[in-house]
Structure 1
């Protein structure tokens, strides 16, 4: 079978098929991957010719079977739900893109996605046609859908993480709040694997005097200053939180009793000396601190908290501006 192309003029007035009267064999068209066809650019969309690839794309064995299945019309090829969109995209009066993506329904009922690469031409007789190459892109579309779904899931997870972070963040100081402290420390204890840990609890000596005398804005700045100092002093994975009021805590996994613990205690309390360099209308505030350690992280959070809190009270009862270690109940460090 041989198909003869009539002279065709493109939408812009140029010759779209430069070899006028050239013979194109059906065998050649059948060897080209994908579907190739021509249809009349009107409401009926009458099909003029098709290749073997198009028949296979629709699951048809013969030309007659395909024409009967599609009613011999391009619009019989397009999924009913996509026809309105495709009609608008293929309107010769407004067509701007040479590619349209839509669904087709095979004879066996399966739905496939295709890319329609078309060229609108007008032949020497004034007839308007679309010359089309059709490629099956179902796998690509499905993969893109999977990627989009994965991206949406990741975005949802990120939003949940953000919401959780905000829910566990102290609004004033931007360190963890009480619930955030509990969750983070309990997670670390659950994965301790016998490592030591240390829990620090501290509050600002005579903070109420500063707050009541110089106002809440000044008191808030003192709290923010301490929070910044604690974050900047400890390791990235250590837990820093505000339990409420002027009470702060620090939790360090992998840190037990010994010189390293005492050194960190001193560096945490260095904030008092740093505050002395700040110009303020009151004496620089100091810290009282209680410290509790577990050599193998066998103590629960409430046990660590109870021991450190008791040590904190001993430090305050002994004159404030001191640190007391729970395992050394009689030893205070100024």
Structure 2
């Protein structure tokens, strides 16, 4: 709109430039008049490029505002050229009156033409009225007060009139933009709907979206004006549908029905019809008809019913059982070959809820969650619980269920299958044990040890106590393997494991890391002496020979001790430090123990900023217990 106003204003200003040049020629000379006319024309012609620029950037609010500002400055220049004529010295009062009338007419017309921009008219008004006001002040005529008053009133009236017009036009523009945007949104929703939407007036299609036309096999334009009843398989039934619609509308209800329609290619399909009136009091205003192709849904439902029948037949041949519940979740039927083995569990189940049965292994929280699922009519799977047979055997059962609905879509209960998963649960427990325990000794392996260490460090941080890790390696064990074979070595390892287990508390963890390496985790120690006592007990215990197959085997043990958090707060580093300490113990002759040693700054040398390499372990990270002191302690 503003670009159009620029062009209109440019044409009008070029026309008035001729009058201005004529006026100036009368009070001056032709050369001056022509020069003034050229300047005004150049100023006015700037509107063309600005209008073109505005059209290019109309979607960019910032760039459009800059163009509007340039146009306002251009109008100030044009107004100034017109206002400068008031200073012409040779003009008589009659000439000035004529000039004032021309300027007033220009401003009156510009009030309307420039109504779409806020600042262009005020700039034009300032450019024209400013020099005139200055002339009245500099060379006041005899009638100065009336003249000044007239100029001021005229400027004020024109300014107010422009402001009011600008506000009104801006409001109308915004309303139109909102209306256009809303119409576009509605049109987009109308055509993007997955259902067919038709507007019926006088029993004919007045409007149809793309989905509705495609459903019938035509374009949206081809269906306009056609009788919708002609698309029915039985067109003569359309008046009955209309009568049912009107009766539903009069009673304040929504019309809904299932009809069979025919596409233009002759194909028949089932459609669900829903209708609402635009104005219930004036049905001639039109009816909005929504059509949904339900052929696939009906075919799917039929296939599901067939599949369910097959499922029930196959279930009768399987080891699982089938069950059904009513809308209040009470058992109505339970059948299957497996039910015979669980007869004591399901003997009195009919008419009861699942939570009324003698079920074990399900707390109130799980029952509440299961009941919430049922109340929401949602499917569920792998609801696992336990039952106890009359012989006292504990069995694991898994239940899956799906909600059931009748043909009207009303919830009518649940059905599903149950499975006895006792053997798979036992197998799973065996696999879990194998994954976390050593196959030879039955002790926890490294994976389970790391898990126990994570738990121990968490408790230690919370309760403000320490933990200790004892890394052990048997001395001269390789000699047994080399002399009597690996079978004898395995028997010695099993015996070592049993003896080590007898030296620790139930809360401690004994782990076999592999080969002849063992680890003991003490999850709660109050002082280093606690770990030292355990190391002494172990060394003393393993000093007693082992009788394996009538032959005595003597082994020693080297023990490395690392403490949390004195030595490190890291689980991995705790293992590393204990391993390094054990190595130093073995290097010092074996059959003794040593601690990881703290540096001067209260940090392990291994973790200090100046030395992060493992090589530092060999240069003083460990302190080997003195053999003499060990001998006394062991005694």
The offset of 1:165, in angstroms, is 2.0
Distance in 1, matches of 2:469 and 2:453, equals: 10
1:88-237 alignment runs, 5 A limit: 113=331, 137-141=350-354, 143-144=356-357, 149-151=384-386, 152=397, 160-192=428-460, 193=462, 194-237=464-507
2:623 paired with 1:329: yes
Is the CA contact 1:177–1:242 (under 8 Å) kept in the aligned structure 2?
A: yes
Matched residue count: 219
The offset of 1:110, in angstroms, is 7.2
Shift of 1:262: 1.9
2: CA distance, partners of 1:296 / 1:150: 46
Shift of 1:212: 0.9
RMSD of aligned C-alpha atoms?
A: 4.0
Distance 1:104 1:184 in 2: 45
Instruction: Please tell me whether the aligned partners of residues 195 and 296 of structure 1 are also in contact (alpha carbons under 8 angstroms).
Output: no
Q: Could you tell me whether the CA contact under 8 Å between 1:226 and 1:271 is conserved in 2? A: no
Structure 1 partner of 2:180: none
Structure with greater strand percent? 1
Instruction: Give the whole-Å Cα distance in 2 for the aligned partners of 1:111 and 1:221.
Output: 59
**1:138, CA displacement in angstroms?**
2.4
TM-aligned CA deviation for residue 303 of structure 1: 1.4
> 1:283 offset after TM fit, Å?
5.6
Structure 1 residues 308 and 228: alpha-carbon distance in aligned structure 2, compared to 1, 3 A threshold? same
CA distances 1:264-321 after superposition (whole Å, capped 9, x unpaired): 1111112322226778656611111111112479622211111111111111111111
C-alpha deviation, 1:113, in angstroms? 3.9
Change (3 A) 1:331 1:298: closer
| Per-residue Cα deviation, 1:155-197 (whole angstroms, up to 9, x for no partner) | 6777644432221110111101122211222222223223200
Q: 1:283 and 1:165, CA in 2 relative to 1: closer, same or farther beyond 3 A?
A: closer
Distance across 2 between alignment mates of 1:245 and 1:279: 21
- Shifted more, 152-161 versus 206-215: the winner is 152-161
Contact 1:256 1:294 in 2 (8 A): no
User: 1:249: how far off?
Assistant: 0.3
Deviation of 1:261 (Å): 2.1
Provide closer, same or farther for how the CA distance between residues 278 and 112 of structure 1 changes in structure 2, counting only shifts above 3 A: closer
Q: Distance in 2 between matches of 1:217 and 1:250?
A: 25
For residues 1-334 of structure 1, what are the structure 2 equivalents within 5 Å? Answer: 113=331, 137-141=350-354, 143-144=356-357, 149-151=384-386, 152=397, 160-192=428-460, 193=462, 194-275=464-545, 281=551, 284-295=554-565, 299-327=569-597, 329-332=623-626, 333-334=630-631
Checking the alignment, whether the CA contact within 8 Å between 1:229 and 1:271 is kept in structure 2 is yes
User: Can you list the C-alpha shifts for 1:34-78, whole angstroms capped at 9, x where unaligned?
Assistant: xxxxxxxxxxxxxxxxxxxxxxxxxxxxxxxxxxxxxxxxxxxxx
Q: Deviations over 1:107-151 (max 9, x none)?
A: xx8785469xxxxxxxxxxxxxxxxxxx99423455339659421
SS at 1:189 equivalent:
helix
Task: Give how far 1:259 is off.
Answer: 3.0
The change in CA–CA distance for 1:138 and 1:196 in structure 2 (over 3 A counts) is same
Specify whether residues 110 and 282 from structure 1 end up closer, same or farther in structure 2 by C-alpha distance, changes over 3 A only: closer
Partner Cα distance (2:452, 2:523) in 1: 11
1:310 and 1:104 map into 2 onto residues whose CA distance is: 65
Cα gap change, 1:112 to 1:255, in 2 (>3 Å): closer
Greater radius of gyration (CA): 2
The answer (yes or no) to whether the contact 2:588–2:624 under 8 Å persists in 1 is no
Q: Measure, in 2, the Cα distance between the counterparts of 1:110 and 1:207.
A: 69
Consecutive unaligned residues of structure 1, counting only runs of 5 or more, are 1-79, 85-101, 116-134
SS for the counterpart of 1:329 is strand
Q: Name the CA distance, whole Å, in 2 between partners of 1:314 and 1:136.
A: 69
**For the structure 1 residues 157 and 247, does the alpha-carbon distance in structure 2 shift closer, same or farther, using more than 3 Å as the test?**
same
Q: State the TM-score, normalizing by the size of structure 2.
A: 0.30
- In structure 2, the residue corresponding to 1:248 is in which secondary structure? strand
Alignment partner of 1:293: what SS?
A: strand
Give the TM-score taking structure 1 as reference length. Answer: 0.55
The residue that corresponds to 1:128 in the other structure is none
- Which structure has more relative contact order (CA 8 Å, sep 6+)? It is 1
Cα distance in 2 between the residues matched to 1:205 and 1:111: 67
Higher helix residue share? 2
Displacement of 1:236 in angstroms is 1.0
Tell me, yes or no, if the aligned pair for 1:256 and 1:295 is still in contact at 8 Å.
Answer: no
Helix, strand or coil at the partner of 2:496:
helix
The answer on whether the counterparts of 1:198 and 1:256 sit within 8 Å (CA) in structure 2 is no
Distance in structure 1 (CA, Å) of the matches to 2:575 and 2:349 = 65
**2:560–2:585 Cα contact (<8 Å) kept:** yes
